[in-house]
Amino acid sequence: MSDPHVVRRDRYVNHLLSLGRALRSPDPRRAAAARQALARLRHSFTEGRRHQAYEVVFQQDTPPTAAETEVWLLVGGLFGLHPLPWGDGRGPRSIGASMGRLHKKQGSPAVARRLTQLLSRDKRTLPHHLRQTVRLLSAHDVPVHYGCLLDDLVVLLGDDHRGDGASRVRLKWAQEFHMPVSAATSEPPTTHPEATE
């Protein structure tokens, strides 16, 4: 039997991805509604306007805990900043893999430093640095696997944020950053959802 928490997370991520697909809709009203929903998600980063994201975040389901609620809001806001999801391919899919793609595109040591900063951040400062990282990925049309990111952040921002689970997540990010691009990790099309149709 499936873990009900995993089912809820999958349903939430699928809801986010449906908003990304709606941006490309030939129906102008559907595309406009998706743009408005993404704008509300971005408000999760703004004090005094955060409540505007709640309707979008909790539309499909509610997170099982208060800590996970914060993670859902964070991932929703990040998706609102950069609604370019990872393709369906197999292989590495963490934020480390996304940063690795950017590093291979740019060849800049600044990208490696950014990953090192992410790996060293604590529960309190990680959300801010993730937001900066996702903005950087957005500027270069590098996709993010939001399902994987949600699962990783449940660990990194949860009760085990200093334990073995968090260490394994950070190790995965570092390993996937350094993996070579191969058939399993090849670049998906880099067309931004808002730029199509």
Measured CA distances, 99 to 6, 37, 46, 49 (Å)? 25, 26, 25, 30
Question: In the prediction, which pLDDT does 181 show?
Answer: 63
Q: Give the Cα separation of 116 and 189 in Å (integer).
A: 27
pLDDT at residue 11, rounded to an integer: 93
pLDDT of residue 184: 40
d(CA 161, CA 144): 22
Note the pTM of the prediction, 2 decimals.
Answer: 0.88
| Ranges in the chain, pLDDT < 70 | 1, 88-89, 181-197
Q: Are 84 and 141 in contact (CB under 8 A)?
A: yes
For domain 4-195, give the fold. Peroxidase; domain 1 (1.10.520)
Tokens representing 109?
């040591």
Helix runs in 46-162, H state only:
51-57, 66-81, 95-106, 109-120, 126-139, 146-156
> Is the CB of residue 94 less than 8 Å from the CB of residue 172?
yes
pLDDT at 161: 75
Helical (H) or strand (E) element with 34: helix 28-42
Sequence ranges of the domains in the chain: 4-195
Reported as type and span, the H/E element at residue 194 is none
